[in-house]
Chains A and B, each alone.
Chain A
Amino acid sequence: MSDGWRQHLYHALLWLVALFFFSPVAWIILSSFKTADDILAVPPKLFFEPTLENYVALFERNAFLQQLTNSIVLSVCAVLIAVTVSFLAAFCFSRFKPRGTDFLMFLLLSIRMLPATAVILPVFLMYVAFGWKNEPIGIVLFYAMFSIPFSVWILKGFIDGVSPRFDETALVNGASYWHVIFRVILPQVRPGLIAAFIFNLIFVWNEAVFNFIIGGIDTHNIPVALWTGAYADGGVDWAFIATMTSVYLIPPVIFIYFFQKYLLVGMTFGTVRGEV
């Protein structure tokens, strides 16, 4: 009996922690259902008459759907490319261990170390010179580049965890290396692929600065819109920020909710198979 109570208390504590971290997000979501005046009410209102006006206004903004589409297309394309490229490289690093593997892995990580502005400055000048600025493909490839290092690290860990006997068995039976890569290895490292996908998706999904500088009207995503659209008639448009943020939060939350298992397993870098 007392154990049961202890269990309940423990669970209540866990939920409290989760809700504590969620509370500012909840405040944003709550604000999206308030009128502009209610958002600025003193003292702040916890109970109020909810309105859907902000959502209606958001979907009536002409650029909104295009920006949302941009967000989705840019992030999904970039991450898919990154994960594919990384998977091939990770297989190579893991199985063939070419000379300088460690050095290359480190070099790859160094991509991530560059301060955003340090990269964006030359990339901007390069894009200007090559005429890639404001081209969706330029941004997709740039994001892909940023997503590669981490993906290679995760996937190499996972492929290391798959016994080479699987490869050998398949090769002995006359399969090609490509068969081994895509039919034998791929299914076994699925958690790693999904983890790499989600992890990098979150980064690209929320990226604003690069898009603002090297993109143009046709490529701007929602974070850029949040950045540039925060003001209306000179005042801060809190209702707009709250509403757009809430809508924009839905897809990644769904991802995290349904693929949580893989995200956790993925972060073990292949040391665990199964549940975490």
Chain B
Amino acid sequence: MADTTVSKSSKYVLPDRRNALMAVLSDRRYLPAILLIPVLVFFLVWNTIPLLWLLGLSFHNYSLTSGQDPRFVGFQNFIRIFQDWQVWYDLSRTLLFVFVGVSLQTILGILLGLLFWGSAKLPGRRLALTLLFAPMILTPVATGNFFRLIYDPTFGVLNAMIRALGFDSIDFLGNASTAFWAVLAVDVWMWTPFLVLMTLAALGSVPKAELEAAEVDRLPWLQRLRLIVFYHGKFILMLGILLRTIDSFKTMDLVLQMTRGGPGSSTKLVAVTLYRQAFDSFNLGWSSALAVFLLLISIAFTATFIFVLNLRRQRGQS
């Protein structure tokens, strides 16, 4: 008798548990939390903990190679960074790089995107677009390396063309006044296709009906662009610009491969400085402080950008 009850109950324990689990998993009350847990774990482990670590380190004097323990120094690292002429110089270079680079990419991207808008009947369109997108899928390490050869005054193909036109070779990467622009040109070449892609997507999101209506109304094309195309497409385009701005601010591997920040310090973007201080010199305290500083700049920028974007969107909707 007793045996049977036990076996009976044990028989039902398992399915009960499973059901309970399923019930919890499917419970409308818990479901949002369950769906969010994986992302939150990622966020906590790979963002929050490292950030706290970074913050802690930024108040210490710590070099991985000195054999000395981290020493608490208060705000000394930050004070040094604010007083360091070099950091402000690097920052100004970086802002110039971001501003000019992203502007050029945006303008070229929109122009080429508009150009490709009506390309539905282009023979081999898929291949043409794949070729167009190739610069951004090429490994940046290889891009940087190979452009060194392309720019080379003796062996480079670019200078061979310049010589063929009757001019003297230009030492693009060896001259403090040209190196910055030479690197920037490669960055523009690499990332203009991305903004073409975003422009095409933005154009695709414009409702065809409204365009047809505009056609019927014989709206001038500039107005058509402004009132219909830009109105519908701007969110996607802005997001593209935002992503590019964020990434451009972080540009590092391209510079490391092409000039290592030189000649002198003409291409030393702030991400390069950070990398070299952290992993060439292992000056971890100072670099953590710089990283915190840069992070604050990026967050401030993105927050402003998104705030403005949202504001516009809400205004547009209301």
> Does any Cβ of B come within 8 Å of A52's Cβ?
no
Instruction: Decide if B38 touches A85 in the complex (CB within 8 Å).
Output: yes
CB distance from A160 to the nearest CB of B (A): 12
CB distance from B303 to the nearest CB of A (A): 7
Instruction: Decide if A152 touches B137 in the complex (CB within 8 Å).
Output: no
> Does any Cβ of B come within 8 Å of A57's Cβ?
no
- Residues of A contacting B271 in the complex (Cβ-Cβ under 8 angstroms): 115-117
Instruction: Decide if B137 touches A202 in the complex (CB within 8 Å).
Output: yes
CB distance from A155 to the nearest CB of B (A): 11
Cα–Cα, bound, A96→B150 (Å): 53
Interface of B is mostly: helix
Cα–Cα, bound, A214→B203 (Å): 41
For residue A249, which residue of chain B has the nearest CB?
B138
- Residues of B contacting A206 in the complex (Cβ-Cβ under 8 angstroms): 137-141
> Does any Cβ of A come within 8 Å of B259's Cβ?
no
**By the criterion of a CB under 8 Å from any partner CB, how many residues of chain A are at the interface?**
97
Instruction: Decide if B38 touches A88 in the complex (CB within 8 Å).
Output: yes
Cα–Cα, bound, A177→B30 (Å): 11
For residue B192, which residue of chain A has the nearest CB?
A21
> Does any Cβ of A come within 8 Å of B115's Cβ?
yes
> Does any Cβ of B come within 8 Å of A265's Cβ?
yes
Listed residue (B38, B116, B118, B294) with the most chain A CB atoms within 10 angstroms of its CB: B38
For residue A110, which residue of chain B has the nearest CB?
B299
Cα–Cα, bound, A267→B244 (Å): 14
Partner of A148, one of B39, B126, B139: B39
Which residues of B from 83 to 127 have beta carbons under 8 Å from A?
A: 112, 115-116, 118-119, 121-124, 126-127
Instruction: Decide if A89 touches B36 in the complex (CB within 8 Å).
Output: yes
Instruction: Decide if B43 touches A107 in the complex (CB within 8 Å).
Output: yes
Cα–Cα, bound, A260→B197 (Å): 10
> Does any Cβ of B come within 8 Å of A145's Cβ?
yes
Partner of B236, one of A108, A260, A271: A271
- Residues of A contacting B257 in the complex (Cβ-Cβ under 8 angstroms): 227
Partner of B201, one of A14, A110, A265: A265
Q: With A227-B141, A256-B137 as known contacts, state yes or no: A24 contacts B147, CB within 8 Å.
A: yes
- Residues of A contacting B236 in the complex (Cβ-Cβ under 8 angstroms): 267-269, 271
Instruction: Decide if A11 touches B294 in the complex (CB within 8 Å).
Output: no
Q: Mark B41-84, 1 if CB is under 8 A from A, else 0.
A: 01101110111011001000000000000000000000000000
Residues of B within 8 A of A (CB): 22, 25-26, 28, 31-32, 35-36, 38-39, 42-43, 45-47, 49-51, 53-54, 57, 112, 115-116, 118-119, 121-124, 126-142, 145-147, 149-150, 154-157, 160, 163-164, 189, 192-193, 197-198, 200-205, 232, 235-236, 239-240, 243, 246, 249-250, 252-253, 257, 270-271, 274-275, 278-279, 284, 287-288, 291-292, 294-295, 298-299, 302-303, 306
- 6 contacts across the A-B interface (CB closer than 8 A): A25-B134, A108-B39, A115-B271, A115-B295, A206-B137, A260-B130
